[in-house]
Chains A and B, each alone.
Chain A
């Protein structure tokens, strides 16, 4: 049941969705429109617990849209509407009356461009914590130190906690944003091209960090770098024109994909 668009055969979203172990988040048959324009077509995707799932695909294929659906960030766009179901354990994320605060507390997000608040490093990390709990000063200090350590940036900022977060370098800012996300103890961390604004060294640091993070968190990452997807992820989904056309273990996708299309994209012979 493939569709023809502009003389090209586009496969439907795949139904082969096998993952090992526990499933943390399940997307089922998600359609999404921006106004009249459909951006996602029947996407289903399981996110395995304590693993890294990478979403790859050409620009405009809907990776960010899918990612932003997982914590309902798309609700901020008034023309966006959708159909389908996303669930996390018993909670249905796509429910009309879903508690967005609770969802976003459990599913954190790191953005493409580092976006620290114009507050001190300390307050940047403390901000999210103070939204949800009322920690004492000592507790807060401890949480902040722990988060910064887990984001591998503690050594660089421990003596300048009261400098502005925006005064850090790009790579440091991104790790600060990761620390900020970790501090509220989410289950899942969504990352939308977290390294695209960074240099190779900062990128390497973040990639190492992601591998470290998956011990405690489930990570979903959108990336344009094939090598990055191959290095950090356990599962890879390849998206094309709003469909998730192939999904599987990263080794399998990168060595022996089912579709010719996937192979062409991964090897860089595309378009």
Chain B
């Protein structure tokens, strides 16, 4: 029976199929829009900055991007060669070339990272990283050829490499993307609006260093962890190890209530009650000269506290589940050796449930990074890049909220920024979620 025939025959199945298909399409649609508008954003910066020039004399080949391209081509070639049925060329190269001392790999890796951090050529750094990865994977394949064993051939790297070769070639010709990417990822000044005469053009005063927003986001998220991890894990330990059942029956719903308070309510609580408190500490710090600017009610510490309270229930309940999943035999085994309750908890239970607790922290971090309403109200809307956590700043989410909430200049660069920031934010939370779920499933497997 063909797929279509089957669809028409099974009505309920068809409806469910359409439902899930639309979910997938919606997801793809969102990601696609984010991607396309982000690309438009980078081209716009590049174009307006005057980097967009097709230099057909290929002088770009001599640039960092050209070098990156060359590296990638070599890597691609070696990758293909290593996966060929008979590795004729590579087998003549001794194995130790592919499996060098780990120090060498680490050295090259750090060169790549340094390159990424201190040089504007984003692509060169990425290509060195790719080369190291391909190098190691060839090492593994060659080793297996000699020792025997299954050789899994995946074309993933080949595809990624090919994609990046296209990008580097384009970059080498036009000399634009890596500059725009470099500005976005490695500069710290975020002034996406400026009083330009021509609204379409970019003035010199405009700058798109997203690190300014990223720094505040991280300050708030990690600050939130500083509050939520001790309280949440402590609460989880109390609930699973100490609390008499009747008390646990009271504390658990309380946590659920805490989790149920709307984000915007948290936001104005932070603004009205927490902010002034933080300011008092700030005044003290300012009077002692620890910070260079007077404190404000809106500040990242304020946001960290309120987001910490918001993610606390998540950490507490997930960590409690992790602790409860530890087999009772371990607890009894420790107690039977004459350990006290606290020794058992600290030295056995926490260790046994550690990956579950870490997973809860990672997922809470992801939630903290993505939190919007409360941080907009608590942290402010001034994008600054400063270590002073007592002055107003702006997180990535707050920037998007402010942009969309204000007059959104369609088609202009300011409009495109929200897609780039949104995609970056999405990438961060996606990675955190994937990592968290991976740790979590590893934990579930263990028990």
Contact = CB atoms under 8 A, between A and B. Distances in A.
A128 B337 contact: yes
Per DSSP, chain B at the interface is helix
Contact of B335 (A73, A118, A119): A73
Given A131-B338, A131-B339, A132-B338, A177 B351 contact: no
Given A117-B348, A118-B352, A101 B330 contact: no
Contacts of A100: 338
A101, A118, A180, A181: residue with the most chain B Cβ atoms closer than 10 Å: A118
Contact of A101 (B245, B333, B340, B446): B340
A115 B333 contact: yes
B338 A117 contact: no
B337, B343, B351: residue with the most chain A Cβ atoms closer than 10 Å: B337
Contacts of B338: 100-105, 128, 131-132, 184
Contact of B337 (A78, A108, A116, A119): A108
Interface string A88-132: 000000000000111111001101010111110000000110011
Contacts of A103: 338
Interface in B330-380: 330-340, 343, 347-348, 351-352
B329 interface: yes
Nearest to B446: A118
B234 interface: no
B332 A78 contact: no
B330, B333, B347, B348: residue with the most chain A Cβ atoms closer than 10 Å: B333
A76 B332 CA distance: 9
Interface in A211-259: none
Given A78-B245, A117-B352, A177 B340 contact: no
A111 B332 CA distance: 9
Given A117-B348, A117-B351, A132-B338, A177 B333 contact: yes
A128 B351 contact: no
A117 B334 contact: yes
A71, A73, A115, A116: residue with the most chain B Cβ atoms closer than 10 Å: A115
Interface residues of B, number: 21
A118 B339 contact: no
Contacts of A116: 333
B335 A128 contact: no
B297 to A, nearest CB: 47
B337 A180 contact: yes
Contacts of B352: 117-118
B336, B338, B348, B446: residue with the most chain A Cβ atoms closer than 10 Å: B336
B351 A108 contact: no
B409 interface: no
B327 interface: yes
B337 to A, nearest CB: 4
Interface of A: 71, 73, 76, 78, 100-105, 108-109, 111, 113, 115-119, 127-128, 131-132, 177, 180-181, 184
Given A101-B338, A115-B329, A117-B352, 13 more contacts: A71-B336, A73-B336, A78-B245, A101-B340, A104-B338, A109-B332, A109-B336, A111-B333, A111-B336, A115-B327, A127-B334, A127-B348, A177-B333
**Which 10 pairs from chain A and chain B are nearest by CB?**
A105-B338, A128-B337, A115-B329, A109-B336, A104-B338, A115-B333, A101-B338, A118-B352, A131-B339, A117-B348
Interface of B: 244-245, 327, 329-340, 343, 347-348, 351-352, 446
